[in-house]
């Protein structure tokens, strides 16, 4: 029979945090794990994946193959580890059927870098749409990342492309052509005439480069419309490395006397839970006695945590510096189906306290959070930068499993179908407009709501952006939401 394991935490923290005062022991009375054995040693990646998922996975109790008593002998366990053709397939076999977002990566360093926005990219952010009901697809440019290769080329928001290296994009080939091993590709552009997309001869060659880091604060400005000063923030990712830039943006809003706020999250796939808390505090106020969110883990983990360990309150500082807040009772948020995880968390966390008016489309519906796990069992598989020399050198794989849900102060967390907008308006590929310009359709519609304008502008959408996929979904972190706070156990 398998032995009961007790994991000793030298410095348990989520992601890269490390706190020597949090030394504790995880006591898992129901977790029976196999001893090391020659049979098991042949499958180090799968062994790590199973053990980490058995302990942390949010749906552990609902997956029979993750049950504490699933295996009675090492041989039986080893046979199971060998049952899939690859580690990636094995990891997929452990996931609950409702899990749309957990994933594995064969190189943990790539994953960790992407968590702070560092990637190999050409800086072109785009959406992909089908031509009618056929298999062919086309892309449209959403925005260009500053300092990227794309920023030096003749391509801009609203441009359309149909071909890559001379091949028409379709549902079968776009992954390989746009997101494959090729670092350089050439896009064939097109134009829209009378709502019809026609190829043109113009081509643009783009090259992916290592180490590109995107500042998620794409735009921050104060617009004065009908005598009302309105702060506008286009925020494209909850990246903790840019918390100071976010705080500086709100300092600017306050300095210019803005009384209303628009937060544009239309292309924001999520990110850091703590950064979401900071942004919420910049909107609502540094009200440290008010609960922002509460984490809910599986029963194995939850029963070992105190209320204080799973509750996050609004903040009054950003890494020790005073937090700049507008102290609002209402905020306007622009969303699309690309708005996910920490973007949705922001809306849900603010909802019990202030009026959140949502404009655009229904969000993606990702209400679970994750952590990065590596083959470091003495740290309960939690990745820590300070423990990289403790990670099994024979196993570079990492997993990013969903381990819990965040509920707001009212106890609500059930938005797997997405958060519905108060005012529905899709982006129009024929008229994307210039981001931050008062005539850009989604921003213009929001400004009408704020100023109670009675203008006769027509917001008819001629070619809605019904996405097949998008560029951000092919980064290692995709649309994940992760915790980045120290966590200790009773």
Angle subtended at Cα 116 by Cα 378 and Cα 51, rounded to the nearest 5 degrees: 25
Q: How confident is the model at residue 117 (pLDDT cuts 50, 70, 90)?
A: low
Q: How many Cβ atoms sit within 10 Å of the Cβ of residue 389? A: 7
Distance CA 218, CA 386 (A): 32
Rounded to 5 degrees, what are φ and ψ at 237?
175, 135
In this prediction, residue 247 carries a pLDDT of 98
Is pLDDT at 19 greater than 60 in this prediction?
A: no
Q: Domains of the chain (ranges plus CATH)?
A: 118-212 (2.30.42.10), 214-371+402-458 (3.90.226.10)
Strand order in the sheet with 330-335: 217-225, 228-235, 260-264, 330-335, 355-360, 423-424
In this prediction, residue 399 carries a pLDDT of 95
Mean pLDDT of 278-284: 98
Could you tell me where the DSSP H helices lie in 57-121? 74-81, 87-93, 108-115
In the chain, the percentage of residues whose pLDDT exceeds 90 is 76
In this prediction, residue 454 carries a pLDDT of 66
User: Would you say 55 and 27 are in contact if contact means Cβ atoms under 8 Å apart?
Assistant: no
Task: Indicate the average pLDDT of the chain.
Answer: 89
Q: Which of 89, 4, 24 is nearest to 382 (CA)?
A: 24
Mean pLDDT of 304-327: 95
Convert 335-356 into a string of H (helix), E (strand) and C (coil): ECCCCCCHHHHHHHHHCCCCEE
Distance CA 30, CA 16 (A): 28
Top mean-pLDDT range of 28-37, 96-105, 418-427: 418-427
Give per-residue pLDDT as tens, 25-46: 344 433 445 556 677 888 999 9
Query: Coil, helix or strand for 3?
Result: strand
Mean pLDDT of 115-127: 86
Mean pLDDT of 70-95: 93
Mean pLDDT of 420-449: 97
Is pLDDT at 7 greater than 70 in this prediction?
A: no
Q: How confident is the model at residue 189 (pLDDT cuts 50, 70, 90)?
A: very high
Mean pLDDT of 91-107: 93
Is pLDDT at 258 greater than 80 in this prediction?
A: yes
**Max CA separation in the chain (angstroms):** 75
Q: How do beta strands 368-370 and 402-408 pair?
A: antiparallel
Could you tell me where the DSSP H helices lie in 221-289? 243-255, 273-284
Distance CA 243, CA 251 (A): 13
In this prediction, residue 168 carries a pLDDT of 98
Distance CA 62, CA 453 (A): 52
Enter the tokens of residue 45. Answer: 């990646």
State the sign of the Cα–Cα–Cα–Cα dihedral 177, 178, 179, 185: positive
């Amino acid at each position: 029979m398998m032995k009961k394991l007790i994991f000793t935490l030298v410095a348990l923290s989520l992601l890269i945090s490390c706190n020597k005062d949090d030394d504790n022991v995880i006591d898992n009375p129901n977790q029976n794990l196999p001893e090391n054995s020659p049979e098991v040693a042949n499958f180090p990646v799968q062994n790590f994946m199973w053990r980490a998922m058995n302990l942390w996975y949010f749906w552990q109790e609902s997956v029979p193959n993750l049950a504490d008593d699933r295996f009675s002998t090492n041989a039986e366990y080893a046979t199971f580890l060998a049952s899939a053709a690859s580690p990636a397939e094995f990891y997929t076999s452990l996931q609950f059927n409702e899990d749309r977002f957990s994933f594995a990566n064969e190189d943990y360093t790539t994953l960790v870098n992407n968590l702070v926005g560092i990637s190999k990219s050409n800086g072109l952010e785009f959406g992909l749409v089908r031509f009618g009901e056929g298999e062919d697809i086309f892309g449209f440019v959403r925005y260009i990342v500053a300092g990227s290769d794309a920023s030096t080329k003749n391509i801009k928001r609203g441009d359309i492309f149909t071909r890559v290296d001379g091949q028409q994009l379709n549902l079968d080939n776009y992954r390989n052509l746009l997101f494959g091993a090729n670092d350089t590709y050439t896009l064939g552009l097109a134009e829209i005439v009378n709502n019809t997309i026609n190829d043109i001869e113009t081509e643009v060659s783009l090259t992916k480069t290592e180490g590109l880091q995107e500042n998620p604060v794409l735009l921050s400005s104060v617009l004065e419309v009908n005598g009302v000063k309105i702060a506008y923030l286009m925020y494209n990712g909850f990246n903790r490395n840019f918390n100071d830039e976010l705080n500086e943006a709100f300092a600017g809003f306050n300095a210019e006397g803005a009384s209303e706020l628009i937060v544009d999250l239309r292309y924001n796939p999520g990110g850091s839970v703590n950064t979401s808390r900071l942004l919420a505090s910049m909107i609502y106020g540094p009200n440290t006695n008010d609960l922002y969110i509460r984490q809910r883990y599986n029963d194995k983990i939850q029963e070992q945590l105190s209320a204080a360990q799973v509750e996050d309150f609004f903040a009054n500082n950003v890494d020790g510096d005073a937090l700049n807040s507008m102290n609002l009772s209402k905020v306007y948020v622009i969303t699309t189906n690309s708005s996910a995880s920490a973007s949705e968390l922001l809306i849900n966390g603010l909802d019990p306290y202030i009026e959140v008016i949502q404009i655009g489309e229904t969000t993606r519906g990702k209400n679970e959070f994750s952590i990065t796990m590596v083959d470091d069992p003495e740290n309960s598989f939690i990745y820590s930068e300070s423990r990289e020399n403790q990670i099994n050198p024979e196993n570079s794989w990492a997993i990013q499993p969903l381990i819990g849900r965040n509920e707001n102060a009212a106890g609500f967390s059930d938005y797997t179908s997405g958060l519905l907008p108060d005012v529905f308006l899709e982006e129009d590929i024929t008229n994307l407009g210039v981001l931050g310009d008062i005539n850009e359709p989604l921003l213009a519609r929001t400004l009408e709501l704020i100023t109670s304008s009675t203008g006769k502008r027509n917001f008819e959408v001629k070619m809605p952006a019904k996405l097949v996929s998008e560029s951000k979904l092919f980064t290692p972190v995709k649309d994940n939401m992760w915790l980045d706070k120290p966590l200790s156990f009773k």
